[in-house]
Chain A
Amino acid sequence: MISRKSILAVACCGVLAFGVAACGSSSDDSASGSSSSGGPLTGAGSTLLAPLMSKWQSDYSSRTGNTVTYGAIGSGGGIEQITAGTIDFGASDAPLTPDQQKAASDVLMVPWALSSTDPVYNVSGVDDGLHLDGATLAGIFLGDITTWNDPAIAKLNPGTDLPSTKITPVYRSDGSGDTYILTDYLSKVSSEWKSKVGVGTEVKFPTGVGGKGNDGVSAVLSKTDGAIAYVGAAYAQSNEFDQVAVENAAGNFEQPSLDTISAAAAAVKSVPSDNAASIVDPPKSATDAYPLASYTYALAPSNSDKADALQEFLTYAIGPGQSYGPDLLFAKLPSQILAADRATIKKIGG
């Protein structure tokens, strides 16, 4: 019995010692970086932003010594958690709805990244760059168009051999900004979509398979022949998915790129008072615009007790942080947005 007790005692000491050592090692990083006035921040939200946020986290930490914690739980999660007050900032590709604004009355929206959600597909026998337009996309996700060799698709792609594979739409099963961007676009180009399904971070998709997060959707897409999905541009790029060339209002079929995304942003010159600028389905005048571009918003409470840290991090993100964007298909923020951002950031902390 003695030996067993002492084993237990030694084990307890070991755990405690390990814990103390770990405590000691982690308390170091808060001491350095005395040039910063801020502190650690916890945020959550958009998975579309996550790859860029990962770069921000490490760069910001080495510049200022402050740790930014970020959980990519989806834009819906970002909105819900900032409303519940469990995080310091949220990140959402979808602006707050009027109801959400009411529930989170002091939350400011700061557009801090510009990218797109891309319809991507995995069909053996079909190469990259399939032409689709808004009506066809709506038809596919509504379940009206069920096979890849449907006449509606064939009409847009003369000369391409389309297989008879069944179409499997893949959608986000969690609260997602990508879903918002897609449904925002589809509602604008298809009245049937608008009345049947509507716009939101989570909608009732009439057909298809669900996946959690950009990751989950990419996973299902890569394993299912005949699948079509929508993922953030960074994921489409890094997984080298075949991307749809979507027809914009000017009649051109565009794939997402820094140029086409910037063109979409440039088409909307005015910035609304709450900074929620929708740039999907840009007008005819934007000839090269990609129809599914969108801003990602930081959600920052104006009366946060971490106002200094928030201001510092947000200023970093729209400033030096933007340099990490282009590699991940995040385009430069246009000047009118930057101006609005700077004004809004000043409002944090009252």
Chain B
Amino acid sequence: MTTETTTATPPVSALLAGKGRGIVDRFGDRALYVLTLAAALLSVAIVLGLAYKIVDEASSAFSTFGFGFLTSSDFDPVKGNFGAADFIYGTVVSSFGALLLATPISIAIALFLTELAPRSSRTAIGTLVELLAGIPSVILGLWGIIILGPFLNDHFEPILHAVLGWIPLFGGQYGLVGMFPAILILTIMTVPIVSSLTREIFATVPPTDKEGALALGATRWEMIKTVVLPYSRPGIVGAVILGLGRAVGEAIAVTQVIGNTAAIHSNIFLPADTLASKIANSYQGAATDLQISSLAYFAVILFVLSLIFNSVARLLVRSVESRSRSSG
């Protein structure tokens, strides 16, 4: 920590106003400003450049198919017809399925860490849950292919099929790859994200409200139900949406276990495919320029989705944070 002293001791305001400073200082200030501004502009430029590039690449597919691309289920490289419907279906089902499982688990974990866990172990357990987010997706995919897939196929899916097979969701065939292992893997990926964010949201609930409810004789669960959850609801929704964004964008682990089959089935045990997974599979080997452009169209859809999720989630999470700040 260096300090710079001038020969006299000018008043602080003069210092701050820049009077009495040498050329080096003024140059340094300017340089810092320019450098940091450049960095900030670079970050913005990267996002804009990315958006421009993928929209540009998707333009020929867009001009050929228009918005009908989103509802067309035909992905035929031979005939040159491409449509995203099968993959949008796969993306929607896999990520919503994952969030359906992940949301209650994440809320429960967040409750556990904020209300129930012994104080001493809170950071340790919280860290362990967050470490789950640190597992590279390719390793989760490898685990899914070799361990989870066969386990589900041999032990879990037969039971589910026998008990709930009358529901079309679980009817019919099952195999080693499919939508179901993908949903489970995506759940594993999104739980740490949603739970850590939810935990932060729970921490903003005013303790006085909580203590008030307890003082009135509420059980802990009732306190949570009547104070914590309603207060946090927009924030939780925001956290879930962020988790959704993660699930929607995951390409590698999904492409390893989902079976790479473009199809719309009601049975979640059958193989399927998602937008991100198809890009990972086919982008490098696409047969025609139109196919490449169609895959770029997929990327645009994913980008728009992540834009929407991010913006909505931001609004929701910010609203909770500002509310807590204002209510003190």
A and B touch in the complex (CB under 8 A): yes
Identity of the chain A residue whose Cβ is nearest the Cβ of B79 in the assembled complex: A198
A202 B282 Cβ-Cβ under 8 A: yes
Does A4 touch B at the CB level, under 8 Å?
no
At the interface with chain B, which of A61-69, A168-176, A325-333?
A168-176
Does A208 touch B at the CB level, under 8 Å?
yes
Report which of A81, A203, A216 forms a contact with B77, defined as CB distance below 8 A. Answer: A203
* Given contacts A208-B261, A210-B271, A223-B176, A81 and B284 within 8 Å (CB-CB): yes
Does A99 touch B at the CB level, under 8 Å?
yes
Does A73 touch B at the CB level, under 8 Å?
yes
A40 to chain B, nearest CB (A): 21
A174 B282 Cβ-Cβ under 8 A: yes
Alpha-carbon gap, A175 to B149, bound state (A): 25
Does B150 touch A at the CB level, under 8 Å?
yes
A173 B282 Cβ-Cβ under 8 A: yes
Most buried by B among A77, A79, A204, A210: A210
Alpha-carbon gap, A335 to B68, bound state (A): 52
Q: Number of A residues contacting the other chain (C-beta, 8 Å)?
A: 37
Return chain A residues, CB-CB under 8 Å to B260. 173, 209-212, 216
At the interface with chain A, which of B55-63, B233-241, B285-293?
B285-293
A201 B285 Cβ-Cβ under 8 A: yes
A189 to chain B, nearest CB (A): 17
Does A266 touch B at the CB level, under 8 Å?
no
A208 to chain B, nearest CB (A): 7
Return chain B residues, CB-CB under 8 Å to A198. 78-79
Count the A-B residue pairs with Cβ separation under 8 angstroms: how many? 96
Return chain A residues, CB-CB under 8 Å to B176. 220, 223-224
B60 to chain A, nearest CB (A): 13
A175 B286 Cβ-Cβ under 8 A: yes
Does B76 touch A at the CB level, under 8 Å?
yes
Return chain B residues, CB-CB under 8 Å to A209. 175, 177, 259-261, 271
A103 B289 Cβ-Cβ under 8 A: yes
Q: Which of A67-101 contact B (CB under 8 A)?
A: 73-81, 97, 99-100
B78 A200 Cβ-Cβ under 8 A: yes
* Given contacts A203-B78, A223-B150, A73 and B284 within 8 Å (CB-CB): yes
Does B273 touch A at the CB level, under 8 Å?
yes
B229 to chain A, nearest CB (A): 42
Convert A196-233 into 0s and 1s, putting 1 for each residue whose CB lies closer than 8 angstroms to a CB of B.
Answer: 01111111100011111000100110011000000000
Return chain B residues, CB-CB under 8 Å to A188. none
Convert A234-269 into 0s and 1s, putting 1 for each residue whose CB lies closer than 8 angstroms to a CB of B.
Answer: 000000000000000000000000000000000000
A175 B282 Cβ-Cβ under 8 A: yes
Convert B271-303 into 0s and 1s, putting 1 for each residue whose CB lies closer than 8 angstroms to a CB of A.
Answer: 101000000011011111101100000000000
Does A166 touch B at the CB level, under 8 Å?
yes
Alpha-carbon gap, A97 to B80, bound state (A): 13
Convert B175-215 into 0s and 1s, putting 1 for each residue whose CB lies closer than 8 angstroms to a CB of A.
Answer: 11100000000000000000000000000000000000000
Does B75 touch A at the CB level, under 8 Å?
yes
Alpha-carbon gap, A198 to B288, bound state (A): 15
Identity of the chain A residue whose Cβ is nearest the Cβ of B178 in the assembled complex: A209
A79 B261 Cβ-Cβ under 8 A: no
Alpha-carbon gap, A18 to B286, bound state (A): 38
Most buried by A among B176, B282, B287, B291: B287
Report which of A75, A78, A166 forms a contact with B173, defined as CB distance below 8 A. Answer: A166
Return chain B residues, CB-CB under 8 Å to A173. 260-261, 273, 281-282
Report which of B74, B145, B173, B292 forms a contact with A80, defined as CB distance below 8 A. Answer: B292
Return chain B residues, CB-CB under 8 Å to A210. 259-262, 271, 273, 281
B287 A212 Cβ-Cβ under 8 A: no
B94 to chain A, nearest CB (A): 16
A80 B273 Cβ-Cβ under 8 A: no
Return chain B residues, CB-CB under 8 Å to A223. 149-150, 176
Report which of A201, A208, A220 forms a contact with B287, defined as CB distance below 8 A. Answer: A201
Alpha-carbon gap, A223 to B149, bound state (A): 10
Alpha-carbon gap, A202 to B288, bound state (A): 10
Alpha-carbon gap, A100 to B291, bound state (A): 13
Does B103 touch A at the CB level, under 8 Å?
no
Return chain B residues, CB-CB under 8 Å to A74. 284-285
A199 B261 Cβ-Cβ under 8 A: no
Does B255 touch A at the CB level, under 8 Å?
yes
Identity of the chain B residue whose Cβ is nearest the Cβ of A77 in the assembled complex: B285
Alpha-carbon gap, A151 to B77, bound state (A): 33
Identity of the chain B residue whose Cβ is nearest the Cβ of A86 in the assembled complex: B284
B285 A200 Cβ-Cβ under 8 A: no
Return chain A residues, CB-CB under 8 Å to B145. 219
B153 to chain A, nearest CB (A): 8
B77 A200 Cβ-Cβ under 8 A: yes
Return chain A residues, CB-CB under 8 Å to B284. 73-74, 77, 80-81, 174
B261 to chain A, nearest CB (A): 5
Identity of the chain A residue whose Cβ is nearest the Cβ of B153 in the assembled complex: A223
Convert A47-66 into 0s and 1s, putting 1 for each residue whose CB lies closer than 8 angstroms to a CB of B.
Answer: 00000000000000000000
Alpha-carbon gap, A124 to B71, bound state (A): 40
Return chain A residues, CB-CB under 8 Å to B286. 76, 80, 175, 202
Return chain A residues, CB-CB under 8 Å to B177. 209, 220
Return chain B residues, CB-CB under 8 Å to A168. 175
Return chain A residues, CB-CB under 8 Å to B75. 204
Alpha-carbon gap, A199 to B77, bound state (A): 10
Q: A175-B285, A223-B149 are in contact. List 4 more A-B contacts (CB 8 A).
A: A80-B292, A203-B76, A209-B261, A210-B271
20 A-B interface contacts by CB (under 8 A) = A73-B285, A76-B286, A76-B287, A97-B287, A99-B288, A173-B273, A173-B281, A174-B284, A175-B282, A176-B285, A198-B78, A200-B77, A202-B77, A202-B78, A203-B77, A204-B79, A209-B259, A210-B281, A223-B150, A224-B176
Of all A-B residue pairs in the complex, the 6 with the closest CB atoms, nearest first, are A175-B285, A210-B260, A76-B285, A77-B285, A173-B260, A198-B78
